[in-house]
Structure 1
Amino acid sequence: MESDMGSKRGLRPSGRREVVLGVAGTAMAAGSGATAPGAAQAPAPPTALALPPSSRAAGRAVAELRDPILRISRGVWAKAELSLAEVLSHAIHLRELEAAAFRVTSRGTAGVPTAFVAEWRQGSGGPVIGYLPEYDALPGLGNAAEPRQAPGPTGTDSGHGCGHNMIGAGCTGAALALKRLMEAAGTAGTVRVYGCAAEETEGAKVYMARAGLFGDVDAVLAWHPAPVAAAGLVRMNATNNAKIAFRGRTAHAGNAPWEGRSALKAAELFAAGVQAMREHILPSARIHYIYENAGVAPNVIPDFAQLWITIRDLDRPKVEAMTAWLRQIAEGAALMTQTRAEVDVFFGMYDLLPNEPLARHLHRHMEAVPLEWSAEEQDFARACQRAMGVAERGMATSLLPFIENGAAGGSTDIGDISHQVPTGVFIWPTLPLGIGLHTWPVTACAGMGIGDRATLQTARILAAAGFDLMTDAALREAARADLRRRREGLPAFVSPIPTSRTGPLALPPFLTKTGGDEVVSGMQPDLG
């Protein structure tokens, strides 16, 4: 989930057991019952509920669809395209969906050229269940499917160090399997697949939510790679992303510095203001930034400087309050240096609202899928751990107990959806214990048997849960009631993206040209 499964701490005390999500979504002890990274895992307690028969049926359907599901995962892994440039990767998903008689209802969805919506419908009426495949890669994490750092197979330095090739294949594969289950049972309803481009940067889900594309959906389901298998009531933070620019006046720094007004000095004063602000923000808040532009030469007074800053906290009101404070700091820095400040809040996300009925239902289906790995896969995992200098404990082999109260400092673009429609998310092992996301071992595991096995397992879990939602009105109503309860007293949903912004800030030029975007819509790319 967003690159931001990053540094995480507990957010608030509770009388219930609280679990803090660590650097890769691992459950860490903050009370009884949680499991620390690298620690031996106790088996999950047996459930008193019989496992739904849909699990076995979904397992059979996924086994029959093994080839197209793994074509998606392996194809996207090999292409390893960065956010907002996933031209081939999104086409790989569409190829398999269209081959299975899904109708593509939207391309370049909500202003994101590599996003899409596809659906399959049977009968009249019925529920609408959505899946959220992702497929963008990360820079600098290209790696061969080997338990050591080695160049990726295509020569690119980008790689799926967050496992989005598996997320995408698991979600799209679940949609294909759910279609088969519905055909066999004669179930009326709609299976909808939202192609979620650019999760690592300016996630398409936020633009889709702003466009109201989830208004008729009964529930959405998704998953994310991790070193462990878990589901529960996990919160993630709301966030804003802003560019803070200062414009001054250039001059020769040696001959006549008094003629200039340094934008860099304004940026430095802004950063100092942020440091002073940190003493007075809530423990749950996060502020982090980089300098994107700080001048071109030391003997030229910089007339332009820019920072990129991210602000996080528990919910939108808290984030908006911090953002307003940062605007004041920028204005103050500009006044102190006789420069001009520009604040562009170009992207933001809501906090993730968990949904207890969906989380518990997913957990039941996770219990039905054994966490078993071949000897070769466990050896591969231990070799990755050895190379990374962590305990050689291999892959997780048991499901964690249901997380009653989880907290994460990071953010996800699923948050916006979770405020509009019941949303179920879980994590599943695709990387060795003790390894963090956004590292080369994640890319390596994603391109071999570990990744294949996890992709098929998650497709089974998601397809089975999707079929239950299609056929169980009580489950759907319980999920809706839980969302209403969690939203009670909150302000109405308003997208954090400015209405003036029609698409992501960082769209590549080749996807934004005029005269018809044949790169996305007309050409037939070689998908391999």
Structure 2
Amino acid sequence: MDNRNDLWRQVDACKDRLIALSDRVWGMPEVCYTEARSCAEHTAELRHQGFRVTEQIAGIPTAVMGEAGEGGPVIAFMGEYDALPGLSQEAGIAEPRPVEAGGHGHGCGHNLLGSAAMLAAVAMKEWLAATGRPGRVRYYGCPAEEGGAAKAFMVRAGAFSDADVAISWHPNSFWEVAPPLSLANTRADFIFTGRASHAAASPELGRSALDAMELMSVGVNYMREHMPSDARVHYAVLDTGGIAPNVVQAHARVRYSIRARDLASMLELVERVRKISQGAALMTETSVEMRIVSAVSNVIGNGPLESALQGVMEELGPPRFDEADLAFARQIRATLSPKDIAAAWHAIGMPPTDAPLADFTVPLDAARNPAIGSTDIGDVSWVVPTVQSHAPSIAIGTPLHSWQVVAQGKTPAAHKAMVQVAKAMAGLGAAVLEDPALMAAAKADHARRVAAAGGYVSPVPPEVKPPLTMSTG
């Protein structure tokens, strides 16, 4: 349609600045809640593009929102820009080569994610101005998706309460509507306190917090036999109580990540883990405090939006890659295991080929077998009809959270995927504004699903504040 072509031309007209933004953010990787420079770059670009800017959303210094347009429905585009620890890597090199030993890196492609979402918002802003159509477009710059649950805190603060539709995407191996599946997740610290003593001279006077933490691990491992097969429990030891074996450890701290397919099941599993921690404390005559760090809900799908997005993505087609793009993708593939590559094809329910980059659209009704993680977009999906797409910014089979993703984060192929998915997101936003029946169907579908799930209650307790220092101690 002419309107859509006009919109896509707006994307092409604006793409160079947003590609440059993506590359700058790639070069300043910042982890959970420390994204000061990345947020500043996004904020400056929003102001340059003429958005009305609101900073410190939900009291989070690195969360920002830009709005443009007047009246009408609100279309929200969600972007991210946080990196991951320990994944520093040079760009365009198909071998491990850190820029900084032990440094951070964009191992999930959020430098591309945020910039493409903003590109879609910028194009829609210009399209609204050119057509005179009522409606508002928003870009939400969201930090700390990697474990910090910023969007859950933003939802709890009402940041999305008047949005009509929310749209996002994620770097991936394929061109597809993202399956609306994720695990609800709580991250909680268990802090054990005991009594120090001389481990040889007076061990009977000590009460070991480290023993309690280890017993908790034993208990959780036995629990795995009696929890749903699609639930997940992982942990990281944050404090062992010291390095002197001749001192009974008076303190210890462990962080658990507790996941399940839906919010109710996850909350039940959290309570079981809490009871295990209390049992470990009882056995060792120590005390334990449970502190929730962050929590996210599972994603709620939206059939009408997914069908509409599929139509836009089929109309656009996947990014057009050239021989240079394919050549580098083959180099990356050579660093992957056959299981990595097979797993990617298995996720979309299709037999493997030798293609290094995806040049097709995955059918909406494909018999997918997706690997399921957790995302704070889940909480947005409970309060706003939400849809996500995937775009092939990485060689097929590249595992997320790897140095290979960082190496591909500034390639021409990644830029092409970023621009193409911005067109898909903007195209869907325009379709929702142009078709009141689509918006009504999306809202009705959303209301039905949320009601069937028992309604939304934030998994983040009211007293828990955004863990702004979770990456710095």
TM-score (norm 2): 0.92
Secondary structure of the structure 2 residue equivalent to 1:133: strand
CA distance in structure 2 between the aligned counterparts of 1:478 and 1:349, rounded to whole angstroms: 26
The gaps in structure 2 that reach 5 residues or longer are 342-353
CA distance in structure 2 between the aligned counterparts of 1:432 and 1:314, rounded to whole angstroms: 29
Please identify, of 331-340 and 284-293, the stretch whose mean Cα deviation from structure 2 is larger: 284-293
Q: Is the 8 A contact 1:237 1:350 kept in 2?
A: yes
1:206 — aligned with what? 152
- Please say if 1:490 is aligned against 2:453: yes
- Please say if 1:166 is aligned against 2:112: yes
2:45 alignment partner AA: E
Secondary structure of the structure 1 residue equivalent to 2:12: helix
The alpha-carbon deviation at position 131 of structure 1 amounts to: 0.7
CA distance in structure 1 between the aligned counterparts of 2:30 and 2:168, rounded to whole angstroms: 21
1:247 — aligned with what? 193
Cα pair distance change 1:356/1:489, threshold 3 Å: closer
CA distance in structure 1 between the aligned counterparts of 2:448 and 2:293, rounded to whole angstroms: 30
1:238 — aligned with what? 184
The alpha-carbon deviation at position 113 of structure 1 amounts to: 1.0
1:226 alignment partner AA: N
Secondary structure of the structure 1 residue equivalent to 2:47: helix
2:285 — aligned with what? 338
- Please say if 1:471 is aligned against 2:417: no
1:88 — aligned with what? 37
Q: Is the 8 A contact 2:79 2:113 kept in 1?
A: yes
Q: Is the 8 A contact 2:63 2:142 kept in 1?
A: yes
Secondary structure of the structure 2 residue equivalent to 1:309: strand
The alpha-carbon deviation at position 228 of structure 1 amounts to: 1.1
May I ask how many residue pairs the two structures share in their alignment?
Answer: 456
The alpha-carbon deviation at position 149 of structure 1 amounts to: 2.9
**CA offsets, 1:229-285, max 9 Å, x none?**
111543211111110111000111122111100001111111111111111111221
- Please say if 1:305 is aligned against 2:268: no
**CA offsets, 1:278-304, max 9 Å, x none?**
111112211111221112121111111
1:112 alignment partner AA: I
Q: Is the 8 A contact 1:250 1:260 kept in 2?
A: yes
- Please say if 1:354 is aligned against 2:301: yes
Match for residue 362 of structure 2 among 395, 400, 406? 400
CA distance in structure 2 between the aligned counterparts of 1:467 and 1:154, rounded to whole angstroms: 43
Secondary structure of the structure 2 residue equivalent to 1:239: strand
1:272-421 → structure 2 map (5 Å cutoff): 272-296=218-242, 297-371=244-318, 372-390=320-338, 393-403=355-365, 408-421=371-384
The alpha-carbon deviation at position 501 of structure 1 amounts to: 2.2
Match for residue 118 of structure 1 among 52, 60, 66? 66
Please identify, of 388-397 and 80-89, the stretch whose mean Cα deviation from structure 2 is larger: 388-397
2:14 alignment partner AA: L
**CA offsets, 1:345-375, max 9 Å, x none?**
2211111011111111111111123332010
2:148 alignment partner AA: E
Q: Is the 8 A contact 1:57 1:464 kept in 2?
A: no
Q: Is the 8 A contact 1:286 1:409 kept in 2?
A: no
1:157 — aligned with what? 103
TM-score (norm 1): 0.83
CA distance in structure 1 between the aligned counterparts of 2:162 and 2:135, rounded to whole angstroms: 12
**CA offsets, 1:104-138, max 9 Å, x none?**
12x1211221011111123xx20100011100111
Q: Is the 8 A contact 2:239 2:251 kept in 1?
A: yes
Cα pair distance change 1:492/1:451, threshold 3 Å: same
1:62 — aligned with what? 11
Higher helix share: 2
CA distance in structure 1 between the aligned counterparts of 2:103 and 2:269, rounded to whole angstroms: 36
Cα pair distance change 1:162/1:233, threshold 3 Å: closer
Match for residue 24 of structure 2 among 71, 75, 95? 75
1:81 alignment partner AA: E
2:434 alignment partner AA: T
The alpha-carbon deviation at position 150 of structure 1 amounts to: 5.0
Secondary structure of the structure 2 residue equivalent to 1:195: strand
Q: What is the RMSD of the two structures over their aligned residues, measured on CA atoms?
A: 1.9
1:330 alignment partner AA: S
CA distance in structure 2 between the aligned counterparts of 1:172 and 1:315, rounded to whole angstroms: 30
The alpha-carbon deviation at position 56 of structure 1 amounts to: 2.1
1:491-506 → structure 2 map (5 Å cutoff): 491-504=454-467, 506=469
Cα pair distance change 1:225/1:232, threshold 3 Å: closer
Secondary structure of the structure 2 residue equivalent to 1:279: helix
2:218 alignment partner AA: A
The gaps in structure 1 that reach 5 residues or longer are 1-51, 511-528
Please identify, of 424-433 and 231-240, the stretch whose mean Cα deviation from structure 2 is larger: 231-240
